């Protein structure tokens, strides 16, 4: 902390009848004057990427946050998609994926129709920049969303090398997922540097096989199609007993490949996007089929998953990788407003990796979560 001492702040109010009554009823000796010592700004010796101020409400987080900057809200244009509020498509894609907003159809909606969790992620995406400050970080979202968003955001800020971003939050359960450079706790008035923080935990995923009826919960979140082939083999993914993801697999129709299978539908609930569940699920399924002596292929148009596989040693591109889709591949029958463009490039890969998967149980390990 800085060695300089801040002056005490004083507030004065009129002692009216209501104030007197409250003071009398609750035995408070109050003359209308309140004083408190503001928290002292942490003077970092070197540039940092992420700082986090945590503590209970009323502890002075917002006052301290103003020492680092002023929040600048964004005024969304609801006549445009949220993606069109960005200067370029590339900027929108990078920022959305950086905050774990990976459901592509959401990018094509206006801000005012989004859910609270989607709004929160979109707002973070468009406001993130060097020196940005965010008060009440993750306060209005549920805890799984808070953790997944913190996990994605921390990695994104470091990947982009944004500097001087400070967040204030009443929740301390996000610390190990965000992995900030420093944390200041207004309750204890202690600063903790990143090297002393608990490391981001490994996350164990458990799978169940054959729960095909659960597709109804996931269908609206798939980025292309709501259809599920009746012949597919289905795997549902659970984290801490909670359903988080869905994957399905079909036999390859080709007569030239024996014991070959392809991924059919992979979906992770939006509130859990940002942990790396999608990559871990598809890797685990691929390894499971490999362990069974079978070949496993997957094709996707989703940019984040495709880019991950391009760089991952667990996957290799096929002869159809980054080749334009055919008309038959692009035809969709039942996905309300969305139609796949036929000349769009698709990523096509074969799983070749070697990770530890036992009985379709796996862990998201750090080396699998990077791309």
d(CA 163, CA 294): 47
Q: What is the mean pLDDT of residues 192-215?
A: 87
Please state, as a whole number, how many other Cβ atoms lie within 10 Å of the Cβ of residue 351: 24
d(CA 285, CA 288): 5
pLDDT at 105: 83
DSSP assigned state of 122? H
Show the tokens assigned to 52.
């986090």
Residues 122-158, buried b or exposed e (16+ Cβ, 10 A)? bbbbbebeeebbbebbbeebeebbbbbbbbbbbbbbe
This prediction's pTM: 0.70
What residues contact 192, with CB distance under 8 A and at least 6 apart?
Answer: 182, 183, 185
pLDDT at 135: 93
Please state, as a whole number, how many other Cβ atoms lie within 10 Å of the Cβ of residue 350: 18
pLDDT band at 88 (very low <50, low <70, confident <90, very high): very high
In degrees and rounded to multiples of 5, residue 157 shows phi and psi of: -60, -40
- The gap between the terminal CA atoms of the chain, to the nearest Å, is 36
In degrees and rounded to multiples of 5, residue 2 shows phi and psi of: -65, 145
Mean pLDDT of the chain: 82
**What structural domains does the chain harbor?**
39-196 (3.40.50.300), 203-368 (3.40.630.30)
Confidence check: pLDDT of 339 > 70? no
Confidence check: pLDDT of 196 > 60? yes
Confidence check: pLDDT of 5 > 70? no
DSSP β-bridge partners for residue 316:
350
Confidence check: pLDDT of 364 > 70? no
pLDDT at 337: 40
pLDDT at 290: 92
Are 159 and 304 spatial neighbours (Cβ–Cβ below 8 Å)? Answer: no
Between the alpha carbon of residue 65 and those of residues 61, 330, 333, the distances in Å are: 6, 49, 51
pLDDT at 296: 95
Q: pLDDT (tens digit, 9 = 90+) per residue, 131-172?
A: 999 999 988 888 888 888 898 899 999 999 999 999 999 999
Q: pLDDT (tens digit, 9 = 90+) per residue, 277-320?
A: 888 999 999 999 999 999 999 998 888 888 889 999 999 999 88
d(CA 268, CA 278): 6
Show the tokens assigned to 88.
């370029």
pLDDT at 289: 92
Are 263 and 283 spatial neighbours (Cβ–Cβ below 8 Å)? Answer: no
Q: What is the full DSSP assignment across 291-358? A: HTT-EEEEEE--HHHHHHHHH-TTEEE-TTTTEEPPHHHH--SS-TT----TT-EEEEEEE------B
pLDDT at 140: 80
Q: pLDDT (tens digit, 9 = 90+) per residue, 23-68?
A: 878 878 878 776 555 556 666 655 899 999 998 887 788 888 988 9
């Amino acid at each position: 902390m800085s060695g300089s001492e801040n002056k005490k702040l004083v507030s004065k109010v009129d002692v009216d009848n209501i104030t007197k009554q409250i003071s009398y009823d609750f035995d408070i000796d109050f003359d209308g004057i309140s004083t408190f010592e503001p928290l002292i700004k942490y003077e970092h010796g070197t540039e940092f990427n992420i700082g986090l101020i945590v503590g209970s409400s009323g502890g002075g987080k917002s006052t301290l946050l103003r020492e680092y900057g002023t929040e600048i809200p964004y005024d969304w244009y609801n006549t445009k998609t949220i993606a069109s509020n960005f200067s370029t498509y590339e900027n929108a894609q990078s920022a959305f994926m950086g905050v774990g907003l990976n459901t592509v159809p959401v990018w094509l909606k206006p801000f005012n129709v989004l859910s609270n969790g989607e709004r929160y992620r979109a707002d973070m995406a468009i406001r993130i920049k060097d020196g940005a400050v965010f008060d009440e970080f993750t306060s209005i979202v549920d805890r799984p969303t808070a953790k997944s968003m913190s996990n994605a955001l921390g990695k994104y800020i470091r990947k982009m090398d944004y500097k001087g971003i400070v967040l204030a939050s009443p929740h301390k359960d996000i610390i190990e997922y965000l992995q900030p450079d420093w944390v200041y706790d207004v309750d204890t008035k202690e600063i903790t540097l990143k090297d002393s923080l608990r490391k981001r935990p490994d996350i164990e995923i458990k799978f169940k096989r054959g729960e095909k009826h659960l597709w109804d919960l996931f269908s609206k979140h798939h980025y292309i199609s709501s259809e599920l082939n009746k012949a597919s083999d289905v795997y549902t993914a659970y984290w801490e007993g909670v359903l988080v993801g869905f994957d399905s697999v079909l036999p390859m129709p080709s007569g030239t490949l024996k014991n070959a299978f392809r991924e059919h539908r992979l979906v992770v609930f939006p509130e859990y996007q940002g942990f790396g569940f999608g990559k871990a699920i598809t890797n685990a399924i691929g390894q499971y089929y490999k362990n069974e002596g079978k070949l496993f292929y997957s094709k996707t148009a989703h940019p984040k998953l495709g880019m991950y596989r391009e760089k991952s040693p667990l996957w290799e591109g096929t002869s159809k990788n980054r080749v334009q889709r055919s008309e038959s591949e692009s035809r969709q029958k039942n996905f309300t407003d969305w139609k796949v463009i036929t000349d769009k490039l698709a990523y096509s890969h074969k799983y070749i990796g070697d990770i530890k998967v036992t009985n379709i149980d796996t862990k998201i390990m750090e080396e699998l979560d990077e791309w």
